[in-house]
Amino acid sequence: MPTMTGKRWKTRLLPAFLIAGFVVWMTMVCVSIANEPPEGSASARSLRGDVAKAVQDQDADRLQNLFHPDTVADGYATALLERLKEAESSDVSPTLRTEDQQQVLVLKGTSADGAVCVPWQVTEEDSRWYLDGTPPLNAHFCNGR
């Protein structure tokens, strides 16, 4: 009865190891997709809290997921957080306001050069709440009115 040499043994196990590696990799991809947080927030109020936490934690990925995908480019949240950091912003907090039947989230803070203010309209789609990256045309949200 012939015995398997070392080389044959390795060549017969190589496909099995490759298949097993592929299965493990696909499992990891599926698990990471399943555990990814959903875009937006469950309510307008929770959107305000999610924005506050993302800004406080400097979490650009989470902040990016709070914007409606069709209203901002990739990297918008990263650029915004970098600008807030460059301005040495402090006491940055979001406020949810309703005016003319439109909800607006206003991110306000202070910096060495004065006030920092960024308003966004809040929209709902498929029971998820998002920030609209297009700023509202009414500039008074940052004027204290």
**DSSP line for the chain:** -PPPPHHHHHHHHHHHHHHHHHHHHHHHHHHHHHTSPPSSBSSHHHHHHHHHHHHHTT-HHHHHHTB-TTTS-TTHHHHHHHHHHHTT-EEEEEEEEEETTEEEEEEEEEETTEEEEEEEEEEEETTEEEEESSPPS-GGGGTT-
Condensed to tens digits (0 to 9), the pLDDT of residues 22-57 reads: 999 998 888 877 776 668 999 999 999 999 999 999
In this predicted structure, what is the pLDDT of residue 37?
A: 63
Between residues 111 and 7, the one the model is more confident about: 111
pLDDT, residue 32, reads 75
Q: Which structural domain, as residue segments, surrounds residue 30?
A: 7-36
In a shared domain, residues 119 and 52: yes
Please check whether residues 105 and 89 belong to one and the same domain. Answer: yes
**Same domain for 98 and 75?**
yes
Q: Tell me the per-residue pLDDT of 90-144, one tens digit each, with 9 for 90 and over.
A: 889 999 988 878 899 999 998 888 888 999 999 999 999 999 998 887 767 777 6
| Residue at 48 is within a domain | yes
Residue 51's pLDDT is 96
We report the CATH number of the domain holding residue 137 as 3.10.450
